[in-house]
Structures are given as structure tokens and as C-alpha cells.
A and B are shown apart, each in its own frame.
Chain A
Amino acid sequence: EDQVTQSPEALRLQEGESSSLNCSYTVSGLRGLFWYRQDPGKGPEFLFTLYSAGEEKEKERLKATLTKKESFLHITAPKPEDSATYLCAVQARGSQGNLIFGKGTKLSVKP
């Protein structure tokens, strides 16, 4: 069964304190791995897509990496506005556009 597990469930950082979020996945043939950001009361917002092991993508203070079993979302020198829930999702090869999501990591960045 295709599955996505994210850790930690919650993470509190001080402004400027870099850290990483983990996403472990089991899928019958990976078509793509995705990171989304979700703010309270809003729908998820697309951040990155990674397709193959070794691939990296960056956007401002965020950098996503992918291996054959997991993905990391590195947050460098975070700011309070980075506080949100970060969701990881996978798409299995042969599936349609539907994604399998993890339960997310709730990130809080204190000034």
C-alpha cells in the first residue's frame, strides 16, 4: 500500500534557526513527490515537485531534496512568516493526478 509518513508532527524554531522536515514514502513506482504549504483556514499551496533521486529544488529559504526512500525540506534561517503546516505527497506511476498526502509537519517560527 502506498504510504507517506512525515516527521516531526510539530516543530518549533527560533527565527534564524535552520532545520529539516522529513518525508518517508512507500510507493509502487514513484512518478513524483510534492511539497505543499498550508496556512490555517486555507487550502494547500504548491511548493515543489521532485521526480528522481538526487534531484533538488529551491525557493527562497526552502530547499527540497529526494532520495529513493525519503525527501527532506530544509529551511534555512526561517522567518515567522514561514510558520505553516508543510505537507508531503506522492503520486504513483500509472495513477491519475490524485496524490497521497502525509499528515504534515506544523512549523512554528518564533521571533
Chain B
Amino acid sequence: DSGVTQTPKHLITATGQRVTLRCSPRSGDLSVYWYQQSLDQGLQFLIQYYNGEERAKGNILERFSAQQFPDLHSELNLSSLELGDSALYFCASSSTATNEKLFFGSGTQLSVL
């Protein structure tokens, strides 16, 4: 168990809808990362937050947004969903802003029908 909690484990929704994925980092970790994993693209970095502030951005679509709350949990919001957004979404945490040793959650499997 990595100590990173993601909910829900599975999410099935329709095109055009909006969903929210939730992540609780390991106790004491200030940095949260969101990654998308698909069969053809592998693990793709989306966005990083450190102690409530956005720290780095990857290839995150404008339809996607995220935030980190004062209690350090994070949410990833996906809107106007398309079939191609179906993927496994992982949250990871680390103790500092640049610590490369990431602890990953078990992911949220999103299926857009």
C-alpha cells in the first residue's frame, strides 16, 4: 500500500459529461501529480501541485482542470468528456516539489461511452 488514496476506482459516464476524480496524498507529502495512462500513449504527465499552488503543467487539455485544497487532497475535473478520454488516471505524491520518488495510487479507471 503506497498510502495514496484515489476515489472512485471505476467511473463510467457518457460523452459530454463532467466528472471529478479525488486523491488523498501520503501523510506529510505536499506535492501531488496527476498522470493519464492509456494503452497507446503510456503514462502522460498532466499537472503538479505543491502545497496548494500549481507547480508544473504537462499536456493537459483545456477541458481538464485540477486543484489542491488546504488539507492537501487534490481533485481532477474532466469536462465535456469524449470517447478518447477513456483511460486510467493516476495520482502520485511526493514529499517535496522536486522529489522524483513518486508514490502512486491505484488509479481511477474512466470509461466514456
**Which residues of chain B are near A32, meaning CB under 8 Å?**
100
Contact of A43 among B31, B90, B99 (CB under 8 A): B90
B94 at the interface (CB under 8 A from A): yes
Say yes or no: A98 contacts B104, CB within 8 Å. no
- Count A-side interface residues using an 8 Å CB cutoff: 23
- Count B-side interface residues using an 8 Å CB cutoff: 30
**Which residues of chain B are near A96, meaning CB under 8 Å?**
48, 50, 55-56, 97-98
Chain B 1-17, CB within 8 Å of chain A: the 1/0 string?
A: 01010000000000000
Bound together, the chains give a CA A99 to CA B45 distance in angstroms of 7
Say yes or no: A45 contacts B45, CB within 8 Å. no
**Which residues of chain A are near B56, meaning CB under 8 Å?**
95-98
Which residue of A is nearest B34, CB measured? A98
**Which residues of chain B are near A42, meaning CB under 8 Å?**
106-107
**Which residues of chain A are near B107, meaning CB under 8 Å?**
42-43
Say yes or no: B101 contacts A43, CB within 8 Å. no
Bound together, the chains give a CA A32 to CA B56 distance in angstroms of 17
Given A96-B97, A98-B48, A99-B102, A45–B43 Cβ distance below 8 Å?
no
Additional A-B contact list (15), CB under 8 Å, known A43-B2, A43-B104, A96-B98: A42-B106, A43-B105, A44-B90, A44-B102, A49-B100, A95-B56, A96-B50, A96-B97, A97-B33, A97-B56, A97-B94, A97-B97, A98-B58, A99-B100, A103-B42
Residues of B within 8 A of A (CB): 2, 4, 31, 33, 35, 41-45, 48, 50, 55-56, 58, 90, 92, 94, 96-107
